[in-house]
Amino acid sequence: MQKNNFKNLGLTVFDLKKLKGKRKIKFVQIDTLDQGLAAKEAGIEMIGTGYDQSKTHFPQKLNGVHFQFGLKWGNQVSAEEALRASMKAMNDGAQSIYCPMSASIIEVLSREGIPVIAHAGLIPPKITLTGGYRAVGKSFDEAKMIWEIAKRYESAGAFAIELEVVPGKLAYEITQRTSLFTISLGSGSKCDAQYLFSADILGEKNDFLPRHAKRYKTLFKEYDRIQNERVDAYKEFIKDVDNNLFEDKKYSVSMDDEVLDKLINFIDKNK
């Protein structure tokens, strides 16, 4: 279990609430510690990632930023399980917890002092309910649904909400008319925080880029170059093996012929 570094917390939940409406917070999702370290060095103030045992050291390594662990939808199926996972994540150094579950479960977490980030709009594990990967909230009925969901989460005690692919005007009204710290992922520029995935920012994959994302670099080209270098190195190794390169004294250990002859005589006598 990692201990929180109380000397260098970065922006706390208390700070984020105070900054609501005053300036925009820069928030990124990461998959690797290297991404996180680069984001921190660049000046990103809020960093989040999915919670699992392979990442429990991330908060300690990234002290000085607001660190959020996320619960993956489906890993916890009750309020008790979500609460246990959230408490463990907080003990591992998280300052807030992303939870895509219902308001009734978030209310349980909030009662125990867990600072929860809820989620509304396009929610990938639930896209069948909204018709696939598309914007949610453009019609009156959908906009009303998003508004009511946000209000339920606010009443349940969530301190923040991620608004994913929601019309910017709707996201703005939620930002202005609720106490929730709003996080925009494809929901315009008038929320309290702007959020993107590091894989998109860095261009780590040469595949589909969501409309709301922006690719600033093309690291996939460098990864391709490195992969080609790996393949070439293995091919050269195969060639050297076929050419008996490793017989060369540079790569092998020598032995005096006299010693070898003595050993062979010993072996032959003791068959």
Q: 49-61: string of b/e by CB count within 10 Å (b at 16+)? A: bebeeebbebbee
- 150, with CB counted inside 10 A (0-12, 13-18, 19+), is buried
Residue 104: what residue type? S
Residue 213: what residue type? A
In this structure, which long-range contacts are made by residues 106-110, counting pairs with CB atoms below 8 Å and at least 24 apart in sequence? 106/153, 106/156, 106/157, 106/158, 107/156, 107/157, 108/79, 108/82, 108/83, 109/79, 109/82, 109/83, 109/157, 110/156, 110/157, 110/158
212, 167 in Cβ contact below 8 A?
A: no
Q: For residues 167 and 102, what is the distance between their CA atoms, to the nearest angstrom? A: 22
Catalytic residue among 142, 154, 162, 164: 164
Q: For residues 195 and 180, what is the distance between their CA atoms, to the nearest angstrom? A: 16
Please indicate whether residue 81 is annotated as part of the active site: no
Q: Which residues form the catalytic set?
A: 164
